[in-house]
Structure 1
């Protein structure tokens, strides 16, 4: 098999075709017209999916090129953490000699410390500002793309340096990782996410102590980053010996109880605490139910609701607080309280009346959030069903979907009318939507009663 098809698939960014061609026997180190392997083509295009498919299919990331670089060196140069990770391959600490590991670390550190624009200017000799654009480097995190003098790179070298250090099991000082993370002040930046990941993986007592010491740091961005790391401790628990789940929960309770002056950070403390199931969580939530900042109040319903399964009945104080929050002046607080009321519905008319009120709220977002929660809720009263029918006239498709789905789940006689008012069931972007699937099945059963009866 010649490499024409593989080169074409790499050029058009078709990772599935690349994998299929490699499996069919295409040479993973096929070269292009410029004499470079196709892996370099994927690296230059910042195409992590194709680069990963090539490396998994046998492409050599350490192949020495005529200019003395390797595809892996070029990936580090290019500044995309996703691409560098894809090209790094498996067991790099064992595969790469020490000198090559040091070369990669020095290259990433040089780009990071000098700055991508400064290094581009040095390499190209170009003057004037670089063209900059914010681009997604992977599905969740972004990076700045810079073009100057005909060269384009992504400024993710801080994340690449962090990732390489961890891959080579270099325990970078916590202070340095925190500084890299908060440099852009953006939790969705690649530098933040890489530092968070590495610190959440380092489950030693020394790292835990150094990270949590930032709880008292005067910079709220440092405290916010600590909360992100703690959240990842909860999301990705390690062994029982070093999971720190109990320590994290205790720390969060103390943090929320002893005081946090920044409302945005306090809201994040409550958000993370709500996922711990700590015995003091309800008391912490009640303490902040009347906080002057709506960001804080919006986090209270989830804490009061708890995570126990089955969910115990709300205590009198928690119930009263939720009722107040459901009438809050802030739309976000009302929406959150409504979802909690629906999940904790105790069968009382008081809860039902508030839920109906939220389904008729003057703010569309509140109606939408409440409809989503009600669709799967347990309330089967006529008042709630009538409020769902009224939402079938909403401009927002998702609100109409949830209203119709709520009627469908209640076996309401107006279900057919509701489905028709949703509009055409095939919808771009909703191909696998469970609500549309249920509607299609409902219609088929009624159009084919004898076949449905046999099933």
Structure 2
């Protein structure tokens, strides 16, 4: 696949059913081909005829124990390794377009999709550590998410990542959730109120 892409093959080529080859690779559990396609420029957020995208088909796709389907049926996934592969592949694409396409899904109704976005943001920070060009938008994005997330379990995870950063509104968000009924959320509050300015600094 990499050889074909290097020779100029279109990474978004579609089959007779209008499904891009990226989706076909996802349905076949061919992580190597999927990774090569994404790295070669395939659009994981391309809207397909049924309204889904290759990205969410990778996250929601059928489990290893399910019959493999060439139309990427949306059965619940029990393949975290595949999801992590997709996440890492997207993370290595240092482009504002990729970042914007992924984080736009933080409002998605499916918790699995929001968890994927959060995993992406966390890994992005690790992979691009030391690169300040995106740090402001990361802080603002996480601050907005922390202020709006209503699911307690997800909110605790968002706060865990958010408090890795320094942000001027962090104390206000910490105070906002100091009396939250979910202990998982309250557990994150001290880090938001830390005089060190961020969880990362407090750990250091």
Question: What TM bracket, shorter-length normalisation?
Answer: 0.5 to 0.7
Deviation (angstroms), 1:251: 1.1
C-alpha RMSD of the superposition: 3.7
Matched residue pairs, number? 174
Q: Which residue number in structure 1 is paired with residue 43 of structure 2?
A: 172
- Corresponding position: 1:247 with 2:119: no
Q: What aligned pairs does 1:276-425 form with structure 2 within 5 A after superposition?
A: 276-305=165-194, 307-308=196-197
Deviation (angstroms), 1:282: 2.2
Superposition TM-score, scaled by structure 1 size: 0.33
Superposition TM-score, scaled by structure 2 size: 0.68
Spell out, residue by residue over 1:8-53, the C-alpha distance to the aligned partner (whole angstroms, 9 max, x if none): xxxxxxxxxxxxxxxxxxxxxxxxxxxxxxxxxxxxxxxxxxxxxx
Aligned 8 A contact 1:256 1:266 in 2: yes
Deviation (angstroms), 1:179: 2.8
Report the CA distance shift for 1:172/1:254 in structure 2 as closer, same or farther (over 3 A). same
Aligned 8 A contact 2:22 2:54 in 1: no
Aligned 8 A contact 1:271 1:299 in 2: yes
Deviation (angstroms), 1:306: 5.9
CA distance in 2, matches of 1:274, 1:187: 29
Spell out, residue by residue over 1:208-228, the C-alpha distance to the aligned partner (whole angstroms, 9 max, x if none): 222121111111211111111
CA distance in 2, matches of 1:201, 1:187: 24
Report the CA distance shift for 1:288/1:210 in structure 2 as closer, same or farther (over 3 A). same
Q: Which residue number in structure 2 is paired with residue 201 of structure 1?
A: 92
Deviation (angstroms), 1:302: 2.6
Q: Which residue number in structure 1 is paired with residue 17 of structure 2?
A: none
SS of the residue corresponding to residue 305 of structure 1 reads: coil
Aligned 8 A contact 2:58 2:86 in 1: yes
Structure with the higher fraction of residues in helix conformation: 1
Instruction: With a CA cutoff of 8 Å and minimum separation of 6, indicate the structure with the bigger relative contact order.
Output: 2
**Structure 2 unaligned spans of 5+:** 14-19, 46-52, 64-75
Q: Which residue number in structure 2 is paired with residue 233 of structure 1?
A: 124
CA distance in 2, matches of 1:161, 1:306: 47
Report the CA distance shift for 1:306/1:232 in structure 2 as closer, same or farther (over 3 A). farther
Aligned 8 A contact 2:22 2:37 in 1: no
